[in-house]
Structure 1
């Protein structure tokens, strides 16, 4: 007689699994349920302040984002005597049970949450009462949010609230059966192990035609023979760590993230009580800080598990930020504040950068990590690329300066692993570096409020630890994994340059107002720290260290990878824009105060106006003060008086208007002549000094073109150029001379939108500025400005954090084809050896450069997840800069800084008359034009001054740094402000040697300190 076919065996086994699952829990009594509903969260002490509702399953209790305190009451019937009793609770929202002091105990999540169900079911509904709960009085309070784990509304009705018996043997049988069933499905057909596992499953299914205590016991005995079979020496060991990816805002507001954290972390702690081998990790100090502030008892329990070694604090940044748009110094502060928090709170040195979900990785990040003592990086987002696959899962990532970090991409391509046999098989089959590595990482659990790993993950892993037919798996920390991986590193390949994600290019532009504020806040904080440091150098006091740290941390929060990129819901941006406005005004106020104090200490008496320059080169520019223009000359990183002799006199030729011309078709000064077409576009940009045209003949520049954009916040169509929606139409123009600049003001309209550009050319200017205000009301449209220039080159130079990156202007390969939209900060430039043209911006990040066309993405208005994204009033500036020589010779990076860091005019804070010889006017001076000072600040833990410099041109450089104060010591330090070398003592200058793009940080102790 032949055996039953494999297909029939497998189908019978699959059909049995739901029957086993449905037999685990047996409801025996209903809970009484009362809810007090509020629009916003209230404290435990105020839990009965909302609208009271008596509820039964099926009753509605709330709408999206409503909150409620639930009370569950009842008594466990005597029928539960000697049996394991549980509560089954599902409110169609997210729920957090609390103790009698209101501290989080356990999170519960509705079963029908939106999720990738191929990874498993996300819900958590079971509350264990134990084996001796008969007669126990139930009186539980819980804090609820009327949203699922992805912020979606799921009817707002109570689904389930029961006391039930858990048939423990059936529960154990379920996981025995599930693991073996999936193992059989993963094994190849011609495999003896598959045949044996299938036969055992089939035999157990025959026994379980009726599920009884006896049949369950017999079935488990049959299956145990297969579960007990061990693997041999592993060719691959999978390091598994529990994970709950937490977006600090996305499809929910920040306030809900704080509660998600409490639900998730309390669930982790409960599962750690049940599963002694459970290892869990979580990143982002900001999230821990919220737990510390809002849930101190929960936070103390977390600290105990960290001390025990079962909870790994992960990541080296304050949040998991966008690393394309965030500025270089901001990324330094992410690491500085992030690592300091974990060290101060937990005594842990962070060695791993944990960024599973950000949208691409800038090419100077390896240097920031190595200079911060971070040796490893983990991400998985590159698996989302559309056209090309990244060639490695384990590799050395090399940045533009030559620094390398050991990097691993979990081969399962997810941070929500079900921890199932299919997970382990996928890792083994997909691992691109398995020929040279025996170790891979798996992140198991459910994120974004899903409570992290559930019992299903941990039960599976317990059965899979060394199960024959699967790669070995062990629960351990990510740091332990990387230390093992490091022993294999000599065989790994090196990948140099940016890690470009072939998706989500729309995030370089979406939510333009947030990006504008981000740039302004980064620059304003730089200005404030310099101004406050100048006061210290002059012997003053009052460095606002605590307030600066508080503001920085909030700015870093808004750089989270779903806030700054623009991929959250409306409420997130309404709230962040309001806070940005408050922060920006406060920082500007502090800048004025500190510069005024510096002017007083420097000897500028009375209420004299002074001009401050935070950039490390002398600036000869026009500034406006009280309605008048002044031609000033300000020393590098210093201050100068504003005098009557500097006032611009009309027609004087000294920064006056004698060589300026302006009409509706022309702007001109002694350096440039700009010609305009009747439609407002530029048809000529003639460089008088070079004697050549900068715009490609016959082409139009700055034509404001709209494209249909049916994408979402993350993505726009790659073929958008084929779907032109039209151009902004010129509705009026006005030309004039204003003080020392020629101005052409153009008004454009399209649909319901209006855009006004003040195109300006200063009397001594070599750039054409486009000061833009837009009332943008279009939906599913993208607005771009293109500049076809008379330069041909195969590479475009794009400023990134602490340097630049060269990218191809050709589209010869699929890699070039899909990297059409690129990120740049203050400039993007096309240069031949003798000539070039740069495009500068004060707040834009999305660009394209194909052949000889520079293109900037100004605005886009997708409908999801914010249906009113960027339908608002905007203000931004960009500029075009033709130059002789290439972009290094022309010092293009300086033009970018000057656009973003204008001179500051303030009045001295008082005092007597001017000193005959005023005090310190320049804090420091450099003798190399390619070395930039990015930051000057007070040290975190002392009165030293910190000075951060970098080489900006991509060459080796020697630079002498002369200080305006005598220094007791000059040290080199790392980005964590730890000394690495004593450079000089009793000196006022130091000589430095830079590698290309090298960042150097100095710590000086001033004699006055």
Structure 2
């Protein structure tokens, strides 16, 4: 007879329609009841995952926790999945997913001696193809998902082979019955489910009350017992995911093959609650930069490694990645709590970074008479050329009406520099925001001495609206801004056009109130933000006593020109700043939006001269082709490219994930003003109560992008490194060095731009440090890695998209490859 593996579970969201405190309380109740039922019903096995819930039990009911340990030892309770929690499986970086698995793995090994081999993410809204390599290298041989649902696949089978970017493979079970059963209905739902699965030689069935916990009930268990007794067609087995896959793989049959990401699912989740997404990216960037700097300070100067702070920040990051927090499908309370937690992690990392920076500034000469000092630490293994800014104070307060203009000396030579509007509005010429054009050396501190000369007044800039267009040309690139619309009219590099007229149009579309959805099928209306009048521009900028052009130059000098344009739509306002460097072939764009529309989504639309043949984006430890004409999800960059004409346009972001490419329009999705957890369900249409109800993204939101055109090969090879440098910015600060000790040597360099550092940090399971790298382009490659000014100098080989982790062995002066996941020891 056919075996039906009954996998009893209680999907328990730590947060969703409720806050974490209620999730904690429900975990205690669910686990207590489930443990009792495993003793009451012989042969019954309960499955549960997510280490965070077990941590809450351990902290609040040690007696129950000990009962769980006994139940696991006796086989009544199965540790399922083994991750810290079920995250979103598209937006976190590959490194973040590794940390999630590591944190869960160490907990379950330490307290339960358990190491699951089937990973589960029942409720995540799609799954990045980069997961396959992570799962296989973490020791998993199987994976259970519920999304995309059956209609998202071209085959009926629930089991399929999923192929990773670099060729790794894992068997996946798509549970068509989903992960929940209604209380008291498990046997009935099973009876209705099985006829559709008669062709399966063995079947897996998830059941148990979920979302808010609950799990099995006595009625369900009794009903299943009666069903098993009265049935002669199949065996009902209280089981585990591992037992199902053991039987499944022992019955070989050809499986459907999937070599793509398991997307899209709930496309609105790529943008909903954008502040959470932006701050999540910021903490990812700050945590991984702080680890690099702390490792450098420890290895080079013996500075104590801040384990506690880094672990706390890592916990904040992982919790924020929960699949109803990061996707923006939680309540307003969840948004508030997640932002607060991310801010906590960011505060910790600000302290860690500055402490490390002070150590890494050791040995710098004292400040020279009449100057100030700014320092930039480049944490990356490659030199970075571009525009960098830092605020500092004058050597002496300026009590005159003169405006002090900077001259910057770097490595004994004067470099392009300019003063820009500082962050404060204290009307005394004292604080200085300095922008420089420089090349920061890899893996080390870069010192700049700043001198000042007096000017009669702060510089002002010529108006540009007397002509229909403003043309910026630095010899490498040409940018044309239409002064009648405020939009970009042309972006060319070496005479080749990459963007054309009406680029950066802010376009507002009708949207659903549902945070999981995107757009309304019955309406495709689009309303564009329009350039403000001079009076409206002055009012928006807070200049009630002036009239100013809506398009104007706000910064200019030897480093860059910044053009600002201001726009409006109904009660919403926005500004766009085009930051155009005097050297280089790419430029930055800053967008600020004060959004007041409801149930709308907003895109920044870029227009390519022709429809490029393909559209791609960064995913976990790699990249993949994205579907044109659809809303897609990716990480730090997207790219429209065409090999036939050898053109690629890359858009790097610092915290957006949703985008589309339709025809010649590349649309970056900035925000959605949907309702919180709003879903038309059993009781009818949501948000119909006659009272005020909050919508997402009401207020100010800010974005930064880097635009880079080039040949396909050049852009593809360098885009991941450029995106890493844009996101994990060099750490700039003002300081008067004490001239103590020796200067830091170069910490790390890698001579191949295809090879990206994922992490440098202290190891958990041995004394010392690890280095994790990956190949970013999909091509086999070799790279030379130099650590600690050549103390380690070693060539490494990576297959396309391969991730490798190394122990930094200082005794043997070498890198030794180790496993992806640091196990508990």
> Which TM bucket (shorter chain)?
0.7 to 0.9
Q: 1:774 to 1:683 in 2, by over 3 A?
A: closer
Q: 1:441 to 1:965 in 2, by over 3 A?
A: farther
Structure 1 counterpart of 2:683 = none
Deviation at 1:428, TM superposition (A): 3.4
Moved more, 840-849 or 755-764: 755-764
* Residue 638 of structure 2 is aligned to residue 828 of structure 1: yes
Q: Secondary structure at the match of 1:453?
A: coil
Q: What is the rounded CA distance, in whole Å, between the counterparts of 2:324 and 2:502 in structure 1?
A: 36
Deviation at 1:616, TM superposition (A): 2.0
Q: What is the rounded CA distance, in whole Å, between the counterparts of 1:355 and 1:284 in structure 2?
A: 10
Structure 2 counterpart of 1:262 = 28
Q: 1:840 to 1:667 in 2, by over 3 A?
A: farther
Structure 2 counterpart of 1:379 = 145
Q: 1:289 to 1:648 in 2, by over 3 A?
A: farther
Q: How does 1:949-964 map to 2 (within 5 A)?
A: 949-964=773-788
Q: What is the rounded CA distance, in whole Å, between the counterparts of 2:249 and 2:196 in structure 1?
A: 20
Q: What is the rounded CA distance, in whole Å, between the counterparts of 1:328 and 1:692 in structure 2?
A: 35
* Residue 250 of structure 2 is aligned to residue 479 of structure 1: no
Unpaired runs of 5+ residues, structure 2, are: 368-372, 393-431, 538-549, 679-693, 814-825
Q: What is the rounded CA distance, in whole Å, between the counterparts of 1:688 and 1:805 in structure 2?
A: 26
* Residue 584 of structure 2 is aligned to residue 757 of structure 1: no
Deviation at 1:364, TM superposition (A): 0.6
Q: 1:914 to 1:721 in 2, by over 3 A?
A: farther
Structure 1 counterpart of 2:167 = 402
Structure 2 counterpart of 1:799 = 618
* Residue 449 of structure 2 is aligned to residue 643 of structure 1: yes
Q: 1:429 to 1:614 in 2, by over 3 A?
A: farther
Give the aligned CA root-mean-square deviation in angstroms. Answer: 2.7
* Residue 387 of structure 2 is aligned to residue 617 of structure 1: no
Q: Is the 8 A contact 1:614 1:638 kept in 2?
A: yes
Q: Which of 626, 633, 656 is the matching residue for 2:439? A: 633
Q: Is the 8 A contact 1:604 1:908 kept in 2?
A: no
* Residue 481 of structure 2 is aligned to residue 676 of structure 1: yes
Deviation at 1:565, TM superposition (A): 0.3
Structure 2 counterpart of 1:946 = 770
> TM-score when scaled to structure 2?
0.83
Q: What is the rounded CA distance, in whole Å, between the counterparts of 1:745 and 1:390 in structure 2?
A: 52
Q: Deviations over 1:142-185 (max 9, x none)?
A: xxxxxxxxxxxxxxxxxxxxxxxxxxxxxxxxxxxxxxxxxxxx
Q: What is the rounded CA distance, in whole Å, between the counterparts of 1:663 and 1:593 in structure 2?
A: 45
Q: Which of 299, 309, 324 is the matching residue for 1:537? A: 299
Q: Is the 8 A contact 1:536 1:543 kept in 2?
A: yes
* Residue 499 of structure 2 is aligned to residue 695 of structure 1: yes
Q: How does 1:222-371 map to 2 (within 5 A)?
A: 234=1, 236-371=2-137
Q: How does 1:92-241 map to 2 (within 5 A)?
A: 234=1, 236-241=2-7
Deviation at 1:422, TM superposition (A): 4.3
Unpaired runs of 5+ residues, structure 1, are: 1-233, 651-656, 812-819, 968-987
Q: What is the rounded CA distance, in whole Å, between the counterparts of 1:287 and 1:648 in structure 2?
A: 61
> TM-score when scaled to structure 1?
0.68
Q: What is the rounded CA distance, in whole Å, between the counterparts of 1:419 and 1:279 in structure 2?
A: 19
Q: Secondary structure at the match of 2:148?
A: helix
Q: How does 1:470-509 map to 2 (within 5 A)?
A: 470-489=233-252, 491-501=254-264, 503-509=265-271
Q: Is the 8 A contact 1:406 1:486 kept in 2?
A: no
Q: Which of 762, 770, 779 is the matching residue for 2:589? A: 770
Deviation at 1:310, TM superposition (A): 1.0
Q: 1:890 to 1:372 in 2, by over 3 A?
A: closer
Q: What is the rounded CA distance, in whole Å, between the counterparts of 1:440 and 1:285 in structure 2?
A: 27
Deviation at 1:313, TM superposition (A): 1.3
Q: What is the rounded CA distance, in whole Å, between the counterparts of 2:253 and 2:612 in structure 1?
A: 37
Q: Secondary structure at the match of 2:149?
A: helix
Structure 2 counterpart of 1:857 = 669
Q: How does 1:737-748 map to 2 (within 5 A)?
A: 737-739=555-557, 740-748=559-567
Moved more, 749-758 or 517-526: 749-758
Deviation at 1:578, TM superposition (A): 2.3
Q: Which of 435, 438, 446 is the matching residue for 2:209? A: 446
Q: Secondary structure at the match of 1:395?
A: strand
Instruction: Kindly tell me the number of residue pairs found equivalent between the two proteins.
Output: 724
Q: What is the rounded CA distance, in whole Å, between the counterparts of 1:942 and 1:662 in structure 2?
A: 62
Deviation at 1:540, TM superposition (A): 1.1
Q: Is the 8 A contact 2:49 2:80 kept in 1?
A: yes
Q: Is the 8 A contact 2:87 2:124 kept in 1?
A: yes
Q: Deviations over 1:366-404 (max 9, x none)?
A: 10111111221111122275x655543111111111111
Q: What is the rounded CA distance, in whole Å, between the counterparts of 2:714 and 2:215 in structure 1?
A: 50
Q: Is the 8 A contact 1:353 1:376 kept in 2?
A: yes
Q: What is the rounded CA distance, in whole Å, between the counterparts of 1:328 and 1:721 in structure 2?
A: 37
Deviation at 1:848, TM superposition (A): 0.4
Q: What is the rounded CA distance, in whole Å, between the counterparts of 1:277 and 1:889 in structure 2?
A: 55
Deviation at 1:965, TM superposition (A): 5.3
Deviation at 1:559, TM superposition (A): 0.6
* Residue 556 of structure 2 is aligned to residue 556 of structure 1: no
* Residue 288 of structure 2 is aligned to residue 526 of structure 1: yes
Deviation at 1:925, TM superposition (A): 1.6
Q: Is the 8 A contact 2:375 2:732 kept in 1?
A: yes
Q: Is the 8 A contact 2:357 2:377 kept in 1?
A: yes
Q: Is the 8 A contact 1:237 1:472 kept in 2?
A: yes
Q: Which of 707, 727, 730 is the matching residue for 1:900? A: 727
Deviation at 1:742, TM superposition (A): 0.8
Q: Is the 8 A contact 1:243 1:444 kept in 2?
A: yes
Structure 2 counterpart of 1:727 = 529
Structure 1 counterpart of 2:427 = none
Q: 1:886 to 1:342 in 2, by over 3 A?
A: same
Q: What is the rounded CA distance, in whole Å, between the counterparts of 1:862 and 1:679 in structure 2?
A: 32
Deviation at 1:794, TM superposition (A): 2.8
Q: How does 1:807-818 map to 2 (within 5 A)?
A: 807-809=626-628
Deviation at 1:778, TM superposition (A): 1.6
Deviation at 1:259, TM superposition (A): 0.7
Deviation at 1:838, TM superposition (A): 1.3
Q: Is the 8 A contact 2:613 2:642 kept in 1?
A: no
Q: What is the rounded CA distance, in whole Å, between the counterparts of 1:579 and 1:450 in structure 2?
A: 23
Deviation at 1:710, TM superposition (A): 2.3
Q: Is the 8 A contact 2:155 2:256 kept in 1?
A: no
Moved more, 346-355 or 458-467: 458-467
Deviation at 1:895, TM superposition (A): 2.6
Q: 1:888 to 1:761 in 2, by over 3 A?
A: closer
- Larger Cα Rg: Structure 1 or Structure 2? 1
* Residue 644 of structure 2 is aligned to residue 840 of structure 1: no
Deviation at 1:510, TM superposition (A): 0.6
Q: What is the rounded CA distance, in whole Å, between the counterparts of 1:609 and 1:377 in structure 2?
A: 50
* Residue 796 of structure 2 is aligned to residue 992 of structure 1: yes
Q: Is the 8 A contact 1:663 1:744 kept in 2?
A: no
Q: What is the rounded CA distance, in whole Å, between the counterparts of 1:320 and 1:856 in structure 2?
A: 27
Q: What is the rounded CA distance, in whole Å, between the counterparts of 1:453 and 1:822 in structure 2?
A: 37
Q: Secondary structure at the match of 1:891?
A: helix
Structure 1 counterpart of 2:745 = 920
Q: Which of 672, 688, 699 is the matching residue for 1:872? A: 699
* Residue 587 of structure 2 is aligned to residue 786 of structure 1: no
Q: What is the rounded CA distance, in whole Å, between the counterparts of 1:630 and 1:494 in structure 2?
A: 52
Deviation at 1:506, TM superposition (A): 0.4
Higher relative contact order (Cα pairs below 8 Å, separated by 6+ residues):
2
Q: What is the rounded CA distance, in whole Å, between the counterparts of 2:166 and 2:229 in structure 1?
A: 43
